[in-house]
Structure 1
Amino acid sequence: MQRLILGMLLMVGQSINPLAAVPVEYVAVKSNVAYSAVTALEYAMPDDTVSYGADPLQTASIWFAKGPFARESKLVVLVHGGCWLNAYDIKHTYALSTALAQAGYAVWSLEYRRTGDAGGGWPGSLNDVEAGIQRLTSYAPKSFYFENTVVIGHSAGGHLALLAGGKIAELRGVIGLAAITDLAEYSRGQNNCQQASKGFMGGSVSELPEQYLQANPITQPLHKHTVLLQGDADNIVPVTQATALKVPLVMQQGAGHFDWVHPGSPAFQTLLLELKTAFQLDTATQ
């Protein structure tokens, strides 16, 4: 009966989305794409959006798995980046969610309060991501389960995904895409995103040493199946962030910061391979 209800839900979800039946084609591009190239991409709107809190920003958007290889039981939780700033919202990853759904994965993409939003910053942004992940288990009719879920996060979203994923052992795995792994060191940098770290935390490392310890993936427990994907041409999150953690690392030659959220990039194909590997892992020992 539960499977029948889920099937009906999927059909309803797809019928209300005019783009769901028409796959979006993503033309192959060279590595090191610009942010403007990502925001110019076409996408399918979510099949559904649900709340996980009282604030309008506390929402999860769902793309159901589509196509002949749809694996509805396999879920990707996506945490978008944007330097933790409310200037960058979930929509710049709509194309990534669309492409992942077309590759056969259900996608649970989280919007959350960020720096500049009431309740955003540290620790509110992480609290939102954790609550958003927990909400998926009560999504009617309880379609998704942690053991069939991989959490991925890009950039500042990767930072939050690493921290949140480390608290839920039942997850199948966590994948950081150009993730910020050493927040204290990152905050000492000079690019705009590095400087945004202080706004996110509410002060510098010297002013808030204990808070930085709590907010730093390098000093916090991680999920046992954590993988980092990093481009060697990234000028926003340097390679040293990826090598700071003692976890498996895949280095994408020539990839910049935004390649991971562009479905036409070689980096996206690497992401698909890593997702396939993650879902093949034996979770019996988790």
Structure 2
Amino acid sequence: MLTGRDDDSVLTRDAPEPDLTVAYGEDQDQVAGVRLGDPARPLLLILHGGFWRPRFDLTHTGPMAEALRESGWTTVAAEYRRIPGDPGATASDVRAALSVLPSLVTAHDGRVIVIGHSAGGQLALHVAGRMHETDTDSPAPGTGSRPHAVVALAPVADLRRAEELRLGGGAVRAFLGGPAGEHAALDPIRARSVPPERIVLLHGRRDGTVPVELSESYAARHGVRLYAPADAHHYSFIDPHDQHWPMLVDTLSGLSRRA
């Protein structure tokens, strides 16, 4: 059940420009903003939300990317193609970003943690669903690579349920170009197998944009960890000014520790 309007002020908040911008493909949207941090830590690959719509881009990830860099990590905020009715282009770009960017940005320890928010959370969990497929492979650029871990923030983790709820005014059908039932490979909850110890979900119970029930269903289906604070909303975990921001930092710190 949706619970009202979320505080989206972080979407228009200014942040310092990235240290550099790199391209992972030839399309104008196949670029990423890089902020350099401690090379002894994992690389954080950030996938923005916006219900897969063209008008929402990586700009609004600036405050979170800068705050995470200040906390010690190198961050790479990736743009990707958002073409209504062509979800394959989006998914392909995310896999290409994961495959190519870690070699272009070397200020990290060789591990990559993928962070996705909202629709970007769906894309991050799509990557998580491919972890077992790539455990022993060395894929070519564009085919996807294996992240060390995935953190999904208020993700659209169940496309069929999101379509039923008409989230974002029918955003799922617009993204897919057809019914969610026909796109099982892109639906996180329908992944055949995921490594539950390497996936964490953070989802506020006051989320008025993507209901927490989507993360609850995903967590129950795949046995992953879900933290759902009662007073957190849709943007709590991407807003460094929010009281729940430390939960993301603590989650990333835990995933960054070497055994």
Does the TM-score normalized on the shorter chain lie above 0.5? yes
Matched, 1:172 2:152: no
Rounded to whole Å, the distance in 2 between the matches of 1:115 and 1:49 is: 22
| 8 Å CA contact retained: 1:121, 1:199 | no
Kindly provide the CA deviation profile for residues 33-63 of structure 1, in whole angstroms up to 9, marking residues without a partner as x: 521x113423111111111111011012110
Matched, 1:198 2:173: yes
**Residue type of the partner of 1:186?**
A
Matched, 1:85 2:53: yes
Matched, 1:187 2:155: no
Match of 1:257 in 2: 234
- Secondary structure of 1:161 counterpart: helix
Deviation at 1:191, TM superposition (A): 3.7
Rounded to whole Å, the distance in 2 between the matches of 1:166 and 1:121 is: 20
Matches of residues 201-280 of structure 1 in structure 2 within 5 Å? Answer: 201-205=176-180, 209-210=181-182, 212-220=183-191, 221-224=193-196, 225-245=198-218, 246-280=223-257
| 8 Å CA contact retained: 2:122, 2:157 | yes
Instruction: Name the stretch that deviates more: 178-187 or 216-225.
Output: 216-225
| 8 Å CA contact retained: 1:95, 1:262 | yes
| 8 Å CA contact retained: 1:115, 1:199 | no
Long gaps (5+) in structure 1: 1-31
Aligned length: 236
- Secondary structure of 2:232 counterpart: coil
Let me know the Cα RMSD of the aligned residues. 1.9
Match of 1:17 in 2: none
- Secondary structure of 1:50 counterpart: strand
| 8 Å CA contact retained: 2:167, 2:210 | no
Instruction: Name the stretch that deviates more: 161-170 or 42-51.
Output: 161-170
| 8 Å CA contact retained: 2:80, 2:93 | yes
| 8 Å CA contact retained: 1:162, 1:222 | no
Kindly provide the CA deviation profile for residues 230-286 of structure 1, in whole angstroms up to 9, marking residues without a partner as x: 10000111111111123111112211101121111122110001001111253xxxx
Deviation at 1:74, TM superposition (A): 2.2
Match of 2:112 in 1: 149
| 8 Å CA contact retained: 2:6, 2:208 | no
Match of 2:104 in 1: 139
Rounded to whole Å, the distance in 2 between the matches of 1:281 and 1:182 is: 31
Long gaps (5+) in structure 2: 136-145
TM-score by length of 1: 0.77
Instruction: Name the stretch that deviates more: 259-268 or 216-225.
Output: 216-225
| 8 Å CA contact retained: 1:172, 1:281 | no
Deviation at 1:198, TM superposition (A): 0.2
| 8 Å CA contact retained: 2:159, 2:188 | yes
Deviation at 1:124, TM superposition (A): 1.1
Rounded to whole Å, the distance in 2 between the matches of 1:266 and 1:121 is: 37
- TM superposition outliers: structure 1 runs of 4+ over 3 Å: 70-73, 142-146
Residue identity (%): 30
Rounded to whole Å, the distance in 1 between the matches of 2:86 and 2:258 is: 34
TM-score by length of 2: 0.85
